[in-house]
Each structure stands twice: as structure tokens, then as C-alpha cells.
Amino acid sequence: MTGEIKRTEDNNPDSRGIAGKNVRNILEIIHAEDYNAFRAVDDAMDQLSVAVTETHKRLVLGGRVFYVGAGTSGRLAAQDAVELEPTYGIGNDMFDFIMAGGNNALIRSVEGAEDDTDSSKEELKKRNLCKLDTVVGISASGRTPFVLGAIEYGRETGALTIGIVNNTGSIICKRSEICILLETGPEVIQGSTRMKAGTSQKIVLNAYSTALAILLGKTYDNIMSHMGVKYNTKLKQRAVNILISEFKIGATEAEALLVKNNYRLDRIINGLRNGEESGK
């Protein structure tokens, strides 16, 4: 992208005339813009580090994280939250999401839902938001009323508030205690923030939740020790492979340990590390 970074909603001069390009050129223009998502995350690394550190302080005291978003941002947040249980054994009692328009909006647009400032507050009230909790508001424009309402209520209750936005100087950025600004600039197709703005949000959410899982001891170094092994055959085999490669035991023994420990891979790993009976 050339020139000064502008708002996500502005027209992108680097994709003007894209409709007259051949397929290869169209794809090259789209992909060239994707690099701006990675650069934006690079520039926001300090703020992301603070967000993880401050959230972790609250989680270890019994706090929770609530992602709040609308449209693409809400769907990305929901995906990150629901994948934490099978990946790290972190359920919605610790990480949850609030989507504008409710869960139906995950698969079908609910018109006007993102303009409702009060409904996000009501959802947080239902969950008994408190000062140990963290509210993460995700909005490409940085002004989505549904997200802003959640941030404002979070501040009222003393919860940590984190804004993830793609426009500099936005109201959500200003109202959040920590602002993770991802300046991705105008999209290839004007206003289609599901593209590089959404990509940058996805990167940040992945990094945020994964770093917290590591700090909470939900991994064994870089291994998914708390994954939901019982969910499918693939994960059972993955657990067997982990035990074989990390602890140099045979496949038969690994399978027997999984059955004996009700497929609790974390329990087996702890046992093998400490030489306890459950890990022999």
C-alpha cells in the first residue's frame, strides 16, 4: 500500500482498477495487502504484551475473559473462544464471547444488532461481570456501538478493558484501558473489513489466548497437554504420538495409559515427569 495509512473504510488506491485485471493479478493485489495485517501486529506487540500480562493477573485470581464483537469481528472472537476448550482445556467459564445479535448472528447477519449499545451491557450483567474480569472489545472501525457499550460497562464495574481496533483515534481505543491498534489501512474492496482487518484481528486473538494458555500452565512447553483427547480419533492418536516422542515409551503403553487415566493427557504427563504411579 502506498502513501499514508488511512481508515479501513477509505478507498484503496492500490486496488483501483482491480475489476479489469486477470485472475492472477487480482490474487496478487489481494495477497500484497495481506502483508499489512502482519505489519500492523508487529507494531502493536507492546500493547499486546501488556494486555496479556494484565489479563493473566486477573485470571489467576479467578477472573474471566469476555470477547465482545459484531459481524466479522464477533465471529472471529467466537471462533477463538470456542476452540480453547478442545485445544487447552479452557472452557467458557474462563473465556466466553458475546456476539451482537446473539449466536444466530454467527451464521446469518442480524441487521441493526451492532447499533444496540445497551444489549452488550445487559449480557455482561447477566454474567455478573466484576473487577477481576476482562472485557475485550473487537471492532475494525473502532466505533461499533455494541462493542463500545461493553467497554463502557466494563469500566463502570472496574473490569480490565481492552480494545482491538483498526482505526487510529477511534472512540473504543480512547475508552479502553489498553488499546491494541492494528493500522491495516483501506481494504482491497472498500469497507470489506473481513479481509486484512479481520486477518490482523485473528492473529492477535490467537496470540492473546495462546500466550495466556501457556502462562496458565495449559501446555507442556509447546505441546497441547490439556487438549480434549476424547473428542476424536485424530486427537487420540496425537496424544499417543506425544507420549512416544516425549517420553520414549511404546505405543501399546501409551494407549494403555490414556485409557487408565480417562484420556487425561495432562495427568499422564505430570505422572511421567514426577515418576508417579499413574505415569508408569
Q: Which residue has the cell 480417562?
A: 262
Q: What phi-psi label fits residue 101: left (phi over 0), alpha (psi between -120 and 50 degrees) or beta?
A: left
**Is 83 designated active site?**
yes
List phi, psi (to 5°) of 262: 55, 40
How far, CA to CA in Å, does 235 sit from each of 165, 224, 252? 35, 10, 16
List phi, psi (to 5°) of 232: -160, 170
Which residue type occupies 203? I
**DSSP conformation letters of 121-178:** HHHHHHTT--TT-EEEEEESSS--HHHHHHHHHHHHHT-EEEEEESSTT-HHHHHSSE
Catalytic residue among 54, 83, 246, 253: 83
Angle, CA 115 vertex, CA 40 and CA 125 arms, to 5°: 95
Show Cβ contacts of residue 178 under 8 Å, excluding neighbours closer than 6 positions.
47, 50, 51, 54, 160, 161, 162, 163
Catalytic residue among 9, 28, 111, 114: 114
Q: Is 189 exposed, middle or buried (0-12, 13-18, 19+ CB in 10 A)?
A: middle
The residues that are catalytic are: 83, 114
